[in-house]
Structure 1
């Protein structure tokens, strides 16, 4: 379920949730372990990331040579395009730069690029970032940012929560590789699930049951029920459970097979009381069995199975085929014999049934 803080942020259009460096590094390492050259020779675009705040920019700039990047492009939104209770104050970094223009700083986004050694120290890193003002406010939907998208090979960012659908469509339109953050409930969106089903997009390497802490602005208002840490390394933070990475880059965890028991063994030994000693329920509007927990998938089931959306965190496309989402043969929500509708089931089947 969506976190209340995230819901409040969407309603208020307060989308300034900043990803921690450690979470970015952990996720990127998974792609690098599977393919060390995944970023080599590539142009990476970070279209929602002011380098003065964004750890995405810091990560890729700091590791520019290690990753073998060809070019890094990072853009930010103009202060006037974001809601602020506190008037925007340019940083010393911006004001001390030769290109600083007080007439542009409020209404223009910024673009930072990295492709060469500008300091003369024979190393390309964060110190070599060059910046300028954009012509517009930095909205990813603008012609200016869309041209940068078309130039890039891989797009990586934490897009605005309230614009996730639009941002994903913007990526898919260009047929670009990407790594982005979103809430796990996005899996249920009509714009998202078909991409997962057709193996055009999948979940990243970080298990979404962990939840992630994001840095938030000082004026961020916590939900009354918030019970987690409110500060990390001296910065205001908020935990958002059910957050996951969506990507087109492959990683090893995606190809780890689930270790499963036979149907008979599940009925005898399952730790789930819904199955142990009882067996599996079936749907009245679909020839499939109900699987309430991913670890209860039987290894020898020949036909279709309805599994919770959390299954996708363990989904191995070499082991399973995704059939469809949520609906039975009559086009209505899957229903059990008692008339109840289990919450958001994905119909799957084994690609090769174990004997």
Structure 2
């Protein structure tokens, strides 16, 4: 039992370390410049940031007057294991509160920042953190990737505006995709690849997106289409088990096709809900069925090969000259303008 407990604790420690990514200030500045109009008179809460070293706190405190903020609150999770918590300057979990410049030097001086101890560990799910969340109008942070679903669900439950970073896989999470499909969440302007680590090193991840429900000009811009299905139908193979054509790149979407199309999930980075309708996600293991049918009897001989490539019964797949092709996850869309 002791060995199993140790392994479990080590797994938790490893998972926590994988979530300890610090967003760089230039990445924050590059994205936040598009949202300035949203912050006037608002309380901003950064609830997954070490308040002593958070670049989110740095950005909002130094731009407090420029943005017209009402209040800034920053807190984070204090893990009981010392080697898992940022700079380890204190054993106490705290939150910082800043209400703006008092001496007119336009700098957040230490004596202007309220330091408040927390009774618990600062987990965003704790009662203390939820009480702070209730005060906030907008939440801006880089939450733990491993808890992204739970984190976004909490923001939706408490009806909060938000701008948060999540990895590319979050698009295919059932809860997140449903929010995108129902036009309750969308992607921001930029992607993030490089994060800081507690030891001062840099870490490169797969592409991460900004996810938000703050209205931005980008989501109202049309994707310019220039390809024609009628002229090159052979360029758009159909799926064996779903009535839709496959489109490998967003900019290859045909301008004259009025049926269902399977496009890469990165399409959502350019998605305009006035131009396209999202039908569903073209993989069954996401839990979002769109009517994809299981393999037909005549396809059974290809099943082993398909499964080797990571597909499951019900995934979208194509066949050409007897060869099986299983594309990556596809968003099924339809052009509203045709």
Shorter chain as normaliser: what TM range?
Answer: 0.7 to 0.9
Task: Extract unaligned runs of 5+ from structure 2.
Answer: 1-10, 284-289, 294-313
Contact 1:285 1:329 in 2 (8 A): no
Kindly report which structure 2 residues correspond to 1:89-128, keeping only aligned pairs within 5 A, or say none.
89-90=88-89, 105-106=90-91, 108-118=92-102, 120-121=103-104, 123=106, 125=108, 127=110, 128=112
In the alignment, which of 204, 207, 213 is matched to residue 188 of structure 2?
A: 204
Following the alignment from structure 1 to structure 2, what is the Cα–Cα distance between the partners of residues 83 and 147?
A: 26
2:278 corresponds to which residue? Answer: 322
1:349 CA drift (Å): 0.8
Cα separation, 2, equivalents of 1:109 and 1:180: 22
Alpha-carbon shift at residue 56 of structure 1 (Å): 0.2
Greater share of helix residues, 1 or 2?
A: 2
Partner of 2:8: none
**Whole-angstrom CA distance in 2 between matches of 1:199 and 1:84:** 41
Correspondences of 1:1-355 after superposition (within 5 Å): 11-14=14-17, 15-32=19-36, 37-78=37-78, 80-81=79-80, 84=83, 89-90=88-89, 105-106=90-91, 108-118=92-102, 120-121=103-104, 123=106, 125=108, 127=110, 128-206=112-190, 208=191, 211-218=192-199, 235-264=200-229, 267=232, 278-327=234-283, 328-330=290-292, 332-338=314-320, 339-353=324-338
SS in 1 for 2:61: helix
1:89 Cα deviation from its structure 2 partner? 4.6
Aligned to 1:282, the other structure's residue is in SS state coil
Is contact 1:62-1:126 (8 Å) kept?
Answer: no
Per-residue CA shift, 1:176-202, capped at 9, x if unaligned?
A: 111111110111111211011001001
Aligned to 1:182, what secondary structure does the other structure show? strand
> Quick check: 1:280–1:290 contact (8 Å CA) kept in 2?
yes
Question: TM-score normalised to the size of structure 1?
Answer: 0.77
- Once residues 198 and 126 of structure 1 are traced to their aligned partners in structure 2, the CA distance between those partners, rounded to angstroms, is 43
Deviations 1:289-314 (A, max 9, x none): 11111111001111110001111111
d(CA) in 2 for partners of 1:122, 1:86: 32
Number of aligned residues: 297
Give the whole-Å Cα distance in 1 for the aligned partners of 2:13 and 2:222: 36
- Cα distance 1:9–1:262, how it changes in 2: closer, same or farther (>3 A)? farther
- C-alpha change, 1:288 and 1:71, in structure 2 (3 Å) is same
Which structure carries more relative contact order (alpha carbon 8 Å, separation 6+)?
1
Partner SS for 2:280: strand
| Aligned-residue RMSD, C-alpha | 2.5
Q: Which moved more, 1:59-68 or 1:248-257?
A: 248-257
> Are the equivalent residues in 1 in contact too, given 2:77–2:121 (CA < 8 A)?
yes
- Pair 1:294–1:216, CA change in 2 (3 A): same
CA contact (8 A) 1:10 1:161 kept: no
**What TM-score comes out, normalization by structure 2 length?**
0.81
Contact 1:260 1:299 in 2 (8 A): yes
Bigger mean CA offset, 68-77 vs 339-348: 339-348
Contact 2:87 2:198 in 1 (8 A): no
The structure-2 alpha-carbon separation of the partners of 1:82 and 1:38, relative to structure 1 and needing over 3 Å to count, comes to farther
User: Residues 199-228 of structure 1: CA distance to partner in whole angstroms, max 9, x if unpaired?
Assistant: 10011110x3xx42111122xxxxxxxxxx
